[in-house]
A and B are shown apart, each in its own frame.
Chain A
Amino acid sequence: MTRYDATRLIVDLAGDAAIVASLGHPAYDLFAAGDRPRNFYTWGSMGVATSIGLGLALARPSARVIVLDGDGSLLMNLGSLATIGLLQPANLAVVVMDNEEYATTGGQPTPTAHGADLAAAARAMRIASAVTVRTEEELRAAMAGVARRLRAEGASASLAVARPDLERAEAGDFQPSVTAGPVVIVAKVDESSPIAKPPIDYVAMKERFMAALGTPHSALRNPQ
């Protein structure tokens, strides 16, 4: 599974979820796989994408938030897993595009290339639903697990997983143990050359994102 394959699958399953992408290749692939107003592309702040997703999940408990992080980026802000473990936001799913390298800067291997286990780190920080997936089927099943759980919890909307996919996942032997609370999915991906980049008009992208979520920035300027 390439990162692009994984990204496309997630966009397909995302429904109306907000997606926050980490700088570099994860953000480029999100744009290429499916630009949509509910995408937020970071162009800097390496390591902070998961924290942005956490803040958004806290602000909007009935919205669903997916973060597309990178392995190198998450390693720069591992403490964010402890905060997520502490707060247990049930509407947050962090997908780590673990290509075991800093692909954007030339492919230097990260510690995950030598066995560092980000899903184990997440579990150690009290994120019970943390799994590593290696194939599209496993990723689909893990995402379906998120959807199933959100439905069971009566979240306002579930991840829009197509019914056949859900059934296939439920019939398959890959069953991530999904419990209430946040989810971390470490997707082992092959590097694939990005084919497009999101616009660098940061403020416009932000305003589009906020408008899509129903929080136009103008309302925040002058509350009431």
Chain B
Amino acid sequence: MSHKPPVWASGVCAGIHAIGSRDVVYVPDNPLSYVLRVFESEYREVRLILATREEEAFGIAAGLYLGGRRPTVMCQSSGIGNSLNAITSLLVPYEIPLLMVVSWRGDDAGEWNAAQRPMGQAVRAIFDAIGVAHATIPSPDAALDTVRRVGETAFRTNTLGACLLPRAMTTVTAS
């Protein structure tokens, strides 16, 4: 049985699609499963590429860009920690743009897992420190527009843009 997907997940997919991104390289996370399901059912032309580690995902995405694509990387905020060297020593200095969609653990919205807190608390400051533009999706209705705006800016200016999916938004549907 197909349930209606959450509004935020449909918005994320529509935003990624709207900027012409047809390759989504990802490492799974619970909330992202909603996004993956929308892609699988409604956007068959979007290629979903599973990576074993987030840094690998950024490398694959860089190659996709060099080959003429507009890639998206999707991962959990902890995965940004796994990726910092590829971001700072490949994507930034070579000005290889991409869109990141990051499910945010460890924010202030009822996180129960202490292992998620330090990175979750630091992720925005880390983005600022390494020059990655970021926006937190403020509401389900704003998902499409936020993703499109961040993604379009990234690809037009050869920079990196990240959209954070706050837990308060995704856990309404992710039990």
Chain A interfacial positions (CB closer than 8 Å to B): 20, 40, 42-60, 63, 77, 79-80, 82-83, 86-87, 202-203, 205-206, 209-210, 213-215, 217, 219-223
Contacts and interface: CB of A to CB of B under 8 A. Distances in A.
8 contacts: A43-B93, A48-B59, A51-B51, A52-B63, A56-B67, A205-B94, A215-B67, A217-B158
A47 B94 CA distance: 17
Given A59-B66, A77-B55, A44 B85 contact: yes
Q: Pick from A49, A50, A56, A203 the residue with the most CB of B within 10 Å.
A: A56
Nearest to A23: B89
Interface in B40-55: 47, 49-53, 55
A57 B68 contact: no
A44 B51 contact: no
Given A51-B59, A58-B60, A40 B66 contact: yes
B49 A58 contact: yes
A51 B158 contact: no
A63 B96 CA distance: 20
Given A40-B66, A56-B66, A58-B60, 18 more contacts: A43-B93, A44-B88, A45-B89, A52-B63, A55-B62, A55-B63, A55-B71, A58-B23, A58-B63, A60-B67, A60-B68, A80-B56, A83-B49, A83-B50, A83-B56, A87-B49, A202-B93, A213-B67
A83 B69 CA distance: 19
Given A51-B59, A58-B67, A203-B94, A79 B20 contact: no
Nearest to A63: B67
A51 B59 CA distance: 5
Given A54-B60, A56-B63, A77 B53 contact: yes
Given A58-B49, A80-B56, A87-B49, A213 B66 contact: yes
Contacts of B66: 40, 52, 55-56, 59, 206, 209-210, 213, 215
Q: Pick from A58, A203, A219, A221 the residue with the most CB of B within 10 Å.
A: A58
Given A77-B53, A87-B49, A206-B96, A219 B68 contact: yes
**10 nearest A-B residue pairs (beta carbon):** A55-B63, A59-B67, A44-B89, A51-B59, A79-B52, A215-B68, A48-B59, A45-B90, A56-B63, A55-B60
Interface in B82-134: 85-86, 88-90, 93-97
Interface residues on B, range: 35 or more
A209 B55 CA distance: 22
B92 to A, nearest CB: 10
B53 A45 contact: no
Contacts of A222: 156
B39 interface: no
Nearest to B97: A220
A55 B59 contact: yes
A213 B52 contact: no
